[in-house]
Amino acid sequence: MLQQDGLILEQIQIGPMDNFTYLLGCKRTREVVIVDPAWDIESLVRIINEKDYTLKAALVTHYHPDHCGGSFGKRNVQGVAELMEQHLIKVYSNKLEADGLKKVTGISETDIVKVASGDTLKVGDIEIQFLHTPGHTPGSQCFKIKRTLVSGDTLFVNGCGRVDLPGSNVDEMYRSLQKLASLPKNTLLLPGHNYGHIPHATIEETIQHNPYMRISSLENWRMMLNH
């Protein structure tokens, strides 16, 4: 468990694509949300039960099956649908991502809470802020909790999410990365995959070591990505 005052913060590597699932919550009440539950729902539920947490909601950074479950090539990935069979919770998705989430996972409209950038969710004493960061997908979002940012596939320690997939957008990714670069430098970055040499870093360290965070203009960004 990572340490911040009053905050439950667990980073769990899971699945064959080196995904990170997160448990975020309040130490006082032991209420948590789960971020991007996928691949092995039984193991994730077991962790929640063993630690005597109360699961309040699922938060989804984007609708790709390795983050929320669903069909993935010839494979069916466990995700929010299987989690909801065991816990009566809602799934929080950016409003632009909700249709994709329904299509991929098979959950219903009433299962989803649609959020916009700047909306917040209270979990015990902890407030989670939703940040819309399009680029990888139209409704990609990050979650800001105290001095921590859970970034999904928008930003990795040494890279950023792909922008050559359906729904991705090169220019929007640049603007999203610029937004994240403006966060306080001591903000702890928790990415959606373990693609770097370390599993997490501060925003300051990420800017220093991640070339995608140091592009000076949109024009240079397009040139770098051959657009």
Each residue's pLDDT, cut to its tens digit, for the chain (227 residues) gives 676 789 999 999 999 999 999 999 999 999 999 999 999 999 999 999 999 999 999 999 999 999 999 988 788 999 999 999 999 999 999 999 999 999 999 999 999 999 999 999 999 999 999 999 999 999 999 999 999 999 999 999 999 999 999 999 999 999 999 999 999 999 999 999 999 889 999 999 999 999 999 998 999 999 998 87
Token output for 167? 């729904």
* CB contact burial 183-209 (16+ within 10 A = b; e otherwise): beeebbbbbbbbebeebbbbbebbbee
Instruction: Give the torsion sign (CA, 101, 102, 108, 113).
Output: positive
The CATH number of the structural domain formed by 7-224 is 3.60.15.10
Domain boundaries of the chain, sorted by first residue: 7-224
Q: What is the pTM of this model?
A: 0.96
